[in-house]
Chains A and B, each alone.
Chain A
Amino acid sequence: MTTVAMTVNGKAVSVDSEDRALLVEVLREKLNLTGTHVGCDTSQCGACVVLVDGVAVKSCTMLAAQADGSTVETIESLAKNGELHPMQVAFNENHGLQCGFCTPGMIMTAVDMVRRRGKTLDDTTIRHELEGNICRCTGYVNIVKAIKAGAARM
């Protein structure tokens, strides 16, 4: 067992977990932050993307122990005082989601994309940046639109 101390969504937490536990497992099972999803087991789909120290990470690809001392932000942290983050609003307004399973990873990836690439994003950039996120429902058309609109408003 390992004790992992992290700041998760602004709150200091200390969690006892198996050495082999992945960050996503600790978030979902120990901290009940079930908004972060597991869509594959080969780090391909991006449903589990969270921000670790401000950088997008596939939380299925990182041991929880590696996050010791880090600041972790999940989808649950984006809305403040009941007010949605501009990217969340944009996904709703542009019908950028259907079943919603890939959505938390898409939104966290989009937030990271804006951090790295700025608020003005063209379609080609967004499509390329989404190579690590799979969606089966939307055909990506409205996800690209949503990210463009959300980025402009951030």
Chain B
Amino acid sequence: MAKDGIGASVLRKEDRRFTTGQGTYTDDVNRPGQLHAVFVRSPHAHATIKSVDLTAARAMPGVVAIHTGEELAEGGINNLICGWGITSKDGTPMKMGPYPPLAIGKVRFVGQPVLAVVAESRGQAEDAAHAVEVDYDILPSVTRLADALNPDAPAVHHFEADGAVWEHGQPPKNLIFDWELGDAKATDQAFAKAKHVVKIDVVNNRTVPSAMEARAVVAEYASAGEHFTLWNTTQNPHLLRVVLSAFINVAPEHKLRIIAPDVGGGFGSKIFTYSEEVVCLWSAKATGRPVKWASSRSEAFLTDAHGRDHITTAEMAFDENHKMLGLKVDTIANLGAYMSLFASLIPTYLYGPLLSGQYAIPAIHCNVRAVYTNTVPVDAVRGAGRPEATYVLERLIETAARELGVDRAELRRKNFVRTFPYQTPVLWQYDSGDYDGLLDSVLAKADWNGFPARKAESAKRGKLRGIGLSCYIEACGVAPSSAVGGALGCGVGMWEMAEIKVNPVGTVEVFVGTLGHGQGHETTYAQIAADRFGIPIDSISVIEGDTDKVQQGMGSYGSRTAGNGTSAVSKALDKVEAKAKKIAAHLLEASEDDIKIEDGNFVIAGTDKKLTLTEVALAAYAFHKLPTDIEPGLDEKAYFDPVNLTYPAGAFVCEVEVDPATGTTEIVNFTAVDDFGNVINPMIVEGQVHGGVIHGIGQALLEEVVYDPDSGQLMTGSYNDYCMPRADNLPTNFELAFQVTPSPSNPLGVKGCGEAGAIGAPPAIINAITDAIGTNDLQMPATAEKVWRALQGVSAKNAA
């Protein structure tokens, strides 16, 4: 193995530019003659636009253009789309409310773009935006998920007007789809023979993604070639290009270059197509000048797709031996005012199929009703559906252990899946895992058995100590394209592409269609190539994020890079290696089968005859000595379409101390043992777990999007009001470990790690707090106030 190869904690190649301030994020890109766009946004949650007066704004200094929804529609620009079609259980398609890039006639959430003002400077555009007069007729709004299906709730969209005919009568007006997964009859039968049934109601709190770099766009149009260039904070430039061209019709695909420069985090929010990209491209052509828009943080709160927001009732049936018989889950999911690009996927195929967790549950039925509300569209945020499923299941099991009076770890162990592949009753087939091993390891590392002594010690200091467990399953890289993607409603393929170019001097360029936005792709991919050829990573460059350089790609989200991206790279390396060996064999006058790669050389096995990669590459391009059955050049492209998803798993133990006087929770110990299959760079993977777990701590203890139910205003619209985790929210002790069961579904046996922490942490934390305070009546975020109130409830109950 090369010292920089697979399995080594290689320091990151990309760090130098970031630590010296030389990173180039989209807002750092400035083009000659650039104009600035500022969006006039809806101040109301729901309103009819009565009139717009642009007279004063147009006369403001520096104003070049003001774009309207009508102007775009007349220019042939289509609505934003949702790319995953979901069918309700009665066979009707999901109801998509039209989502124009700039509002036409009506606004449906606070922050919805209504007009775009384009001026010489951002300041001038802002001043002119203030001078725009929009007269609204305010309508009643519905922002709370719990209210959306009430018969008297205002309708966010009016589908009746479309003349749609519903076979089974008119569904509730804000219902987008009513979807089910699993066998309802088998599940009912399982419950009928159950000895014990345990039931919980849980709320999965709405959060914002909050990448530290807010979204930004620079759009440029060259009239000579009718060619567009878009610099954009995107996690998936190629997919964005398809959507902008084929669906939204703002630029032809072959004349639209999308460049994602350094992208400052995403957590899902930069997967989707947003109004601002469309409008800036439109404006660049209309004005003939480059147009920039950079989101403020306030705009990010109002426009980046939010996450989670579920209300769920779940029941589990057990037999007399505490074996699980069945699981019933009924969920309502808030998708906001319009359907974002993958909104429909998150509470369906990224949620229901995860409900089996690490357990052999014979029958599962899941029903999900997705609804519209007058809120920001909801889509994927780190974990996307999987945290919601894990939270339901792991709280339910912890509750069951308490109600049945059995050990929580043993209840889980009794029901673990142990043979692989394992076909769940909810679509997914697990490829590999060792759930006993994970649980054993985490219990030992967390000193689970020593907890009573620590609890007693805390009690002496007046603190309530609790311990919680969570065993999660992940599903990464939705695949294969046909059997899963296409069959379940996905509008695109789910493969990945890579191209390996060995230059004539023997340096290597790796082009790949994923898009790193903090995950260290430049280092990880380079390690794979270094490993293959035995060359230092400094002689390898990794190129992502430019549709002119990387031919195709599907981007990075859903922890798909590990399984799909590295596999595409691996496959392309196979092709390059085969060709290089053929060339070496010819030059060394040996058989191809006898050529081995050793320490960066192509060697005739068992001899000292060898060639360096540089010598082979030079021969491939100089092409003086090679026969005609070999083509010149040494570069190869490969697509990888996985045979299955990958299924990382893990076990987390969280230990908390609650101050009963204030309700404040401190996470004193957090222990995570994860199985991500083979690990390419342990340092980077540990970093992903750290980030994911703290993200989970944020959701469990601090973060919640709140709308005022009367006005529909976003109350948590800044970091002053929305509580992000900070350095002092870290667990006091934080221990990580890996266990390895390689995935059989891809060449490197990897599984993906980016979301695991955010998936497994919230239930572990809440299970610990409810253990400490002696009541299960607690919803996230477990703020000091909520915990204190829950404790008062316990005291009152004890007093009665």
Residues of A within 8 A of B (CB): 18, 20, 28, 33-42, 44-45, 47, 74-76, 78-79, 84, 88, 91-93, 95, 97-104, 107, 126-128, 130-131, 133-144
Contacts and interface: CB of A to CB of B under 8 A. Distances in A.
A41 B296 CA distance: 7
A95 B265 contact: no
Contacts of B686: 95
Contact of B297 (A45, A93, A100, A131): A45
A41 to B, nearest CB: 5
A41 B298 contact: yes
A41 B21 contact: no
Contacts of B695: 136, 139
A40 B691 contact: no
Given A37-B25, A138-B687, A144-B727, A20 B718 contact: no
A42 B16 CA distance: 29
Interface in B18-74: 18-25, 27-28
A107 to B, nearest CB: 6
B267 interface: yes
B88 interface: no
A128 B267 CA distance: 26
24 contacts: A20-B123, A39-B213, A41-B296, A42-B297, A75-B21, A76-B22, A84-B19, A92-B16, A95-B683, A99-B211, A100-B14, A103-B18, A107-B19, A128-B728, A133-B726, A134-B719, A134-B726, A136-B724, A137-B518, A137-B687, A139-B692, A139-B693, A140-B726, A143-B727
A144 B297 contact: no
B690 A141 contact: yes
A87 to B, nearest CB: 8
Given A20-B123, A75-B21, A126 B727 contact: yes
Given A42-B297, A100-B264, A130 B687 contact: no
A39 to B, nearest CB: 5
Contacts of B267: 136
B517 interface: yes
B690 A92 contact: no
Contacts of A101: 23, 25, 211-213, 264-265
Contacts of A40: 297, 718-719
A93 B687 CA distance: 13
B690 A36 contact: no
Contacts of A140: 690, 694, 725-727, 730
A100 to B, nearest CB: 3
A34 B28 CA distance: 6
Contacts of B24: 34
A93 B11 contact: yes
Given A38-B27, A42-B720, A102-B212, A75 B691 contact: no
Contacts of A107: 19
Contact of B23 (A28, A88, A100): A100
Interface of B: 11-12, 14-25, 27-28, 123, 210-214, 262-265, 267, 294, 296-298, 517-520, 683-684, 686-687, 690-695, 718-720, 724-728, 730, 734, 757
A34 B20 CA distance: 11
Given A35-B21, A91-B15, 9 more contacts: A39-B214, A76-B21, A95-B11, A98-B519, A100-B17, A101-B213, A130-B728, A137-B212, A141-B694
A74 B12 CA distance: 23
Contacts of B263: 99
B68 to A, nearest CB: 26
A65 B22 CA distance: 26
B518 A99 contact: yes
Nearest to B724: A134
B212 A134 contact: yes
Contacts of B297: 39-42, 45
Given A34-B21, A38-B27, A103-B19, A98 B687 contact: yes
Contacts of A134: 212, 719, 724, 726
A139 B19 contact: no
A32 to B, nearest CB: 8
Contacts of A35: 20-23
A139 B690 contact: yes
Contacts of A28: 28
A28 B262 CA distance: 16
Nearest to A77: B21
Nearest to A35: B21
Given A127-B727, A134-B212, A139-B695, A97 B25 contact: no
Contacts of B693: 139
Contacts of B683: 95
B20 A99 contact: no
A-B interface, 9 closest residue pairs, ranked by CB to CB distance from nearest: A35-B21, A100-B18, A101-B264, A99-B518, A139-B694, A98-B518, A75-B21, A44-B719, A139-B690
A77 B184 CA distance: 65
A152 B797 CA distance: 53
A130 B263 CA distance: 23
A103 B727 CA distance: 14
B561 to A, nearest CB: 14
A84 B20 contact: yes
A88 B691 contact: no
Contact of A99 (B27, B264, B724): B264
Contacts of A97: 15, 18-19
Nearest to A47: B212
Pick from A18, A76, A99 the residue with the most CB of B within 10 Å: A99
B690 A138 contact: yes
B214 A139 contact: no
Nearest to A79: B20
Nearest to A100: B18
Contact of A41 (B11, B518, B718): B718
A5 B231 CA distance: 33
Contacts of A39: 212-214, 297
Given A34-B28, A144-B727, A88 B213 contact: no
Contacts of A47: 212
Contacts of A126: 727
A33 B726 contact: no
B168 to A, nearest CB: 44
A84 B730 CA distance: 29
B684 A131 contact: no
Given A34-B28, A35-B23, A137 B719 contact: no
B16 A137 contact: no
A70 to B, nearest CB: 19
B119 to A, nearest CB: 13
Given A42-B720, A45-B719, A142-B690, A99 B727 contact: no
B19 A92 contact: yes
B718 A42 contact: yes
Contacts of B694: 138-141
